[in-house]
């Protein structure tokens, strides 16, 4: 007679553990994590040869003075500046590395050594992982959009992309897609309008390859207008 309550207690404990585990797996980043991520995210403004503004895009620091963005954000640019969460502006000094197949660029800036930068996730589940896009529209306006990862797509002429349900819109390109720990799992890339409203991001392992390539002795800094417009 005395054993039944104990068995019931163990059963409830097991159920509560499973619920807690599931909630953790699908957890969104905390407000504190989002605030920390914002410190490494930037808005990028490009200018033509006459100094007129061209495009606005996103990016994020991966090293003290280097950041990742989308190549198309730089289209036609002779100059570019980045603006951080606290309103500080820095100049883009040039392009360190490109992955033209996946529309990805690594830029060098004149930011100080202590600027906040984001870490790349060790791995990402191809389907079902909770992710959040953090995009700086400017130093006072932010877009935070949550969703989950879907499957990998190969888009002809554009390369391999991770489909996500978080909303990516104009001006978000180059922004980080993070997990609940604030680690970058992908980079916001493109949105295809239609019945399904598809959003795609460049997988983190491609970003890692870009950074590793930039560390090779043959890598060199190129000016923005040296590259294909």
pLDDT tens-digit map of 198-228: 888 999 989 999 998 877 655 566 777 665 4
* Same structural domain, 137 and 189: yes
Q: Take residue 116 and report the two structure tokens written for it.
A: 């906040």
Q: pTM for this structure?
A: 0.80
Encoded tokens for 192: 């295809």
Q: What is the mean pLDDT of the chain?
A: 81
**Four-CA torsion 115, 36, 215, 68, nearest 10 degrees:** -100
How far is 1 from 69, CA to CA, in rounded Å? 66
C-alpha distances (whole Å) from 97 to each of 108, 212, 227 are 9, 10, 11
User: Would residue 121 count as lying in a domain?
Assistant: no
pLDDT of 26 above 70: no
- Please indicate, yes or no, whether residues 156 and 91 belong to a single structural domain of this protein: no
**Does residue 191 have a pLDDT over 90?**
no
DSSP 222: B
Instruction: For residues 148 and 219, state if they share a domain.
Output: no
> Can you give the residue range of the structural domain that contains 81?
34-116+210-226
Q: Which segment, 114-118, 123-127, 168-172, 187-191, is predicted with the most confidence on average?
A: 114-118
Identify whether residues 140 and 168 lie together within a single domain.
yes
Query: Shortest CA distance to 81 belongs to which of 210, 207, 224?
Result: 224
In a domain? residue 159: yes
C-alpha–C-alpha distance, residues 34 and 29, integer Å:
6
Task: Examine residue 15 and state whether it is found in any structural domain, yes or no.
Answer: no
CATH at residue 137 = 2.40.10.10
In a domain, 24, yes or no: no
133, 188 in Cβ contact below 8 A? Answer: yes
Q: Report the DSSP beta bridge partners of residue 143.
A: 135
Please indicate, yes or no, if residue 124 is contained in any of the structural domains.
Answer: no
Q: In this structure, are residues 152 and 204 in contact, taking their beta carbons and an 8 Å threshold? A: no
Paired tokens of 162: 């991770």
Total count of residues recorded for the chain: 229
Q: Is residue 178 a contact partner of residue 185, using CB atoms and an 8 Å limit?
A: yes
Query: How many helices (H) and strands (E) would you count in the chain?
Result: 3, 12
Q: What is the pLDDT of residue 150?
A: 81
74 and 135 within one domain? no
The dihedral over CA atoms of 99, 162, 74, 227, expressed in degrees to the nearest 10, equals 20
Do 193 and 220 fall into the same domain?
A: no
Q: Are residues 57 and 108 in the same domain?
A: yes
In a domain, 123, yes or no: no
Residue 28 lies in a domain: no
Residue 16 lies in a domain: no
Q: How many CB atoms lie within 10 A of CB 213?
A: 15
Domain match, 82 and 188 both: no
Asked whether residue 122 carries a pLDDT value surpassing 90, the answer given is no
Which of the given ranges, 27-31, 123-127, 137-141, 222-226, has the highest pLDDT on average?
27-31
Contact 137, 170 (CB under 8 A): no
Residues 219 and 194 in one domain: no
- 142-174 residue pLDDT tens: 889 999 888 777 666 666 788 888 888 888 999
The answer on pLDDT for 189 being more than 50 is: yes
Q: For residues 173 and 71, state if they share a domain.
A: no
> How do strand 66-70 and strand 53-61 relate by DSSP bridges?
antiparallel
Residues 86 and 148 placed together within one structural domain of the fold: no
What is d(CA 48, CA 225) in angstroms, rounded to the nearest whole number?
10
As for how many domains the chain has, the answer is 2
Residues 112, 44 within the same domain: yes
Rounded Cα–Cα distance for residues 100 and 102 (Å) = 5
């Amino acid at each position: 007679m005395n054993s039944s309550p104990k068995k019931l207690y163990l059963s409830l404990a097991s159920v509560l553990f499973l619920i807690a585990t599931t909630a953790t797996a699908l957890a969104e980043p905390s407000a504190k994590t989002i605030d920390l991520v914002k410190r490494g995210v930037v808005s990028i403004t490009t200018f033509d040869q006459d100094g007129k503004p061209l495009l606005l895009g996103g990016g994020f620091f991966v090293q003290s003075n280097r950041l990742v963005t989308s190549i198309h954000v730089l289209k036609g640019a002779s100059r570019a500046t980045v603006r951080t969460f606290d309103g500080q502006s820095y100049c883009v000094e040039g392009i360190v590395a490109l992955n033209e197949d996946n529309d990805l660029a690594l830029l060098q800036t004149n930011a100080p050594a202590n600027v906040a930068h984001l870490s790349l996730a060790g791995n990402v589940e191809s389907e079902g992982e909770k992710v959040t896009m953090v995009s700086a529209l400017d130093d006072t306006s932010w877009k935070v959009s949550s969703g989950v990862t879907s499957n990998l797509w190969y888009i002809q002429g554009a390369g391999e992309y991770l489909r996500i349900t978080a909303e990516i819109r104009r001006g978000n390109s180059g922004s980080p897609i993070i997990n609940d720990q604030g680690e970058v799992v992908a980079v916001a890339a493109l949105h295809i309008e239609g019945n399904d409203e598809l959003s795609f991001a460049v997988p983190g392992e491609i970003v890692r390859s870009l950074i590793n390539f930039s560390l090779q002795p043959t890598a060199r800094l190129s000016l923005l207008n040296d590259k294909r417009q």
